[in-house]
Amino acid sequence: MAEGPEAALPHRPVRPPTLRDALAPVVVLIVLLATTIALFGVGATDGPLQVALLLAAAFASLVAFKNGHTVASVADAAVGGVTSAIGAVFILLAVGALIGTWNMAGTIPTVVDYGIKLVSPAWFFFTTALVCALVGVVTGSSWTTAGTLGVAFVGMATVMGLSTAAAAGAVICGAYFGDKMTPLSETTILVPKLVGRGLTVGTHVRNMAWTAVPALLVSLILFLVIGWRTRPETAASTEAAERALEGAYRVSVVCLLPLALLVYFALRRYPPFLAILGSALFAGVLAPFTQPAAVRAFVDDPSLGPVATGVHAVFGAMATGFVSDTGAPKVDQLFSRGGMASMLTTVWLILGALSFAAVMEHAGFLQRLMAPVVARARSRGSLILAVNAGGVGLNVIAGDQYVADVLPSRMFRDEFARRGLAPQVLSRAVEDSGTVTSVLVPWNTCGAYISGVLGVPTIAYLPYCFFNILSPLLDVAYGYLGFKVPTAAPERVPAGGGPAPAGGGDDSPEH
């Protein structure tokens, strides 16, 4: 019986998709997403959005079957798409564990306490973006930056009575600038490989600076304006917050050791999953020494000895998150977070998005949608606009940053070579759109991750992601103005051949 679906189409040839075939799943996805958001609002990411993505993936599969693709091939594509996200899923789970144990060990409360002592509300958002930019350059990861310091900065905003949405936007602006402008980032390494034509990572980063640095500077100015316009009388008393924190937790430099260990692991280029999980475990072991009262209250089992209580606390905080029980409601609400279980809804969202993207790519729907865009881009400016529009569109349709980086890199590189545009022009356009706008889409892997770890809905922080919005706009403006758009000798590349293999490397990135 299991062979029935395959037997029904034993030797049917696969037909190329029509434009209607490619558009139909996108229209269905948009209708389903709009319906869930209209009915559930920001709560749509708690399950309805995931159902919509899986239903859209099922519809795309039916269209693929109509065109001759077998059930087995579509199923393998969907499984392959999900498998590509396993690395991201493990990082997500590790960050959940880290948030739980860092709260329990007093790491995040200590960062929050020091932060509200050192940073005034007027400078808070500016400082948040700047610090996250520096840490992003050092770690090479926007995810690590947001999942560690980003969580602390959003916590500070809560204590200080400031906008958590603006704080999340400042974290994202800084973290994504750092991720883009370092040779340690995997996308910064990947995109030049995909573009090929001898492009080096150094040349790619230097050319990106012409859009990234102005976008960050404008963002910092806007965050400074927002901070200055914050009225002190509407903010909570920071002195009262400090007293509440210090009464509930033992705040000391020792509590920052898990953060120092994570920075050390990042500098040594340890795999992100192992680095984050290692720091989380270290924080869990440290917690009984730095926060003994909080650990005992969390476990709440007098029959257990000190060692058993510590082990119980580590497993509990890493699995389901730390629950603060200090008697101070605001403090308990702020630091009762984390755990791998808290990330499962986000994992579900990622799996749904990647299932849809994998079917769309396997059936040729994404390529069919992109082909007219490439063909109709006549001028230099319109070509660069097409790359940026493709990157943003793929982040929305495919729900994955890597699809939005890989596909435009492969589909536009021959056209850029034919028109005599240097390869770094294409690579910058890909990063300015595919990489940085991924976090603006709730069902994108990046948007789901950042929203999950910061605890702020994507739709709430989006208006404050100035850097992520300005980057593609600046790149398109440069394209039409001819500013910092280097040229090269035109190359003879056969037209209409579709995406060729990337020069000098494997085209299949790992998440």
Q: What is the pLDDT of residues 281-303, one digit of tens each?
A: 999 999 999 999 889 989 988 88
| 28-37, 185-194, 425-434: segment of lowest average pLDDT | 185-194
| pLDDT the model gives residue 241 | 63
CB 136 within 8 A of CB 97: no
| pLDDT band, very low/low/confident/very high, at 190 (cuts 50, 70, 90) | confident
Average pLDDT of the residues in 203-221: 95
Residue from 157, 203, 95, 115 nearest 334 by CA: 157
Average pLDDT of the residues in 162-177: 94
| pLDDT band, very low/low/confident/very high, at 507 (cuts 50, 70, 90) | very low
> In Å, what is the CA distance from 406 to each residue of 222, 358, 402, 414?
32, 13, 6, 14
Judged against a pLDDT cut of 80, whether residue 154 lies above it is answered with yes
Beta carbons within 8 Å of 444's beta carbon, 6+ residues apart: 353, 395, 396, 399, 400, 401, 438
CB 201 within 8 A of CB 183: yes
> In Å, what is the CA distance from 479 to each residue of 87, 315, 336?
35, 53, 48
Average pLDDT of the residues in 489-494: 71
Mean pLDDT is highest, among 76-90, 93-107, 393-407, for 93-107
**In the block, residue with structure tokens 């990063």:** 431
Encode burial over 399-438: b for 16+ CB neighbours within 10 A, e otherwise: bbbbbbbbbbbbbbbbbbbebebbbbbbbbbbbbbbbbbb
| pLDDT band, very low/low/confident/very high, at 238 (cuts 50, 70, 90) | low
**In the block, residue with structure tokens 């995909």:** 194
Average pLDDT of the residues in 502-508: 34
Higher pLDDT, 403 or 39: 39
Beta carbons within 8 Å of 400's beta carbon, 6+ residues apart: 85, 353, 354, 357, 438, 444, 445
Average pLDDT of the residues in 194-218: 90
| pLDDT the model gives residue 234 | 44
Instruction: Tell me the average pLDDT of the chain.
Output: 83
| pLDDT band, very low/low/confident/very high, at 239 (cuts 50, 70, 90) | low
- Tens digits of per-residue pLDDT, 428-475? 999 999 999 999 998 888 888 899 889 899 999 999 999 999 999 999
Judged against a pLDDT cut of 90, whether residue 212 lies above it is answered with yes
- Cα dihedral angle (193, 198, 201, 203), rounded to 10 degrees? -140
Distance CA 463, CA 169 (A): 8
Burial of 505 (0-12, 13-18, 19+ CB in 10 A): middle
Other Cβ atoms within 10 Å of 158 Cβ, number? 19
| 320-329, 365-374, 475-484, 496-505: segment of lowest average pLDDT | 496-505
- Cα 274–chain centre separation: 19
CB 45 within 8 A of CB 457: yes
Beta carbons within 8 Å of 354's beta carbon, 6+ residues apart: 81, 82, 84, 85, 399, 400, 445
| pLDDT the model gives residue 195 | 85
Read off the tokens for 505. Answer: 């490397």
> In Å, what is the CA distance from 410 to each residue of 290, 357, 499?
52, 17, 5
Average pLDDT of the residues in 103-111: 87
Q: Tell me 499's DSSP state.
A: P
| pLDDT band, very low/low/confident/very high, at 317 (cuts 50, 70, 90) | very high
| pLDDT the model gives residue 47 | 83
Strand partners, 487: 421
Read off the tokens for 467. Answer: 């850097």
Higher pLDDT, 151 or 3: 151
Distance CA 462, CA 466 (A): 8
Provide the CB-side half-sphere exposure for 317 (13 A, CA). Answer: 37
Strand partners, 432: none
Burial of 500 (0-12, 13-18, 19+ CB in 10 A): middle
For 35-42, which contacts have Cβ atoms below 8 Å and span 24 or more sequence positions? 42/457, 42/459, 42/460
| pLDDT the model gives residue 213 | 96
| 58-62, 466-470, 495-499: segment of lowest average pLDDT | 495-499
Residue from 273, 313, 320, 316 nearest 293 by CA: 313
pTM attached to this predicted model:
0.73
| pLDDT the model gives residue 478 | 95
| pLDDT band, very low/low/confident/very high, at 139 (cuts 50, 70, 90) | confident
- Tens digits of per-residue pLDDT, 318-363? 999 898 877 667 677 778 888 899 888 878 877 887 788 788 888 9
Read off the tokens for 99. Answer: 């948030």
Report the share of the chain in percent with pLDDT over 70: 89
**140 three-class SS:** coil
How far the first Cα of the chain sits from its last, in Å, is 36
Q: Tell me 342's DSSP state.
A: G
- Cα dihedral angle (356, 360, 362, 368), rounded to 10 degrees? -170
Average pLDDT of the residues in 221-239: 73
Report the share of the chain in percent with pLDDT over 90: 33
Residue from 127, 192, 213 nearest 166 by CA: 127
Report the amino acid identity of residue 268: R
Judged against a pLDDT cut of 50, whether residue 85 lies above it is answered with yes
| pLDDT the model gives residue 493 | 62
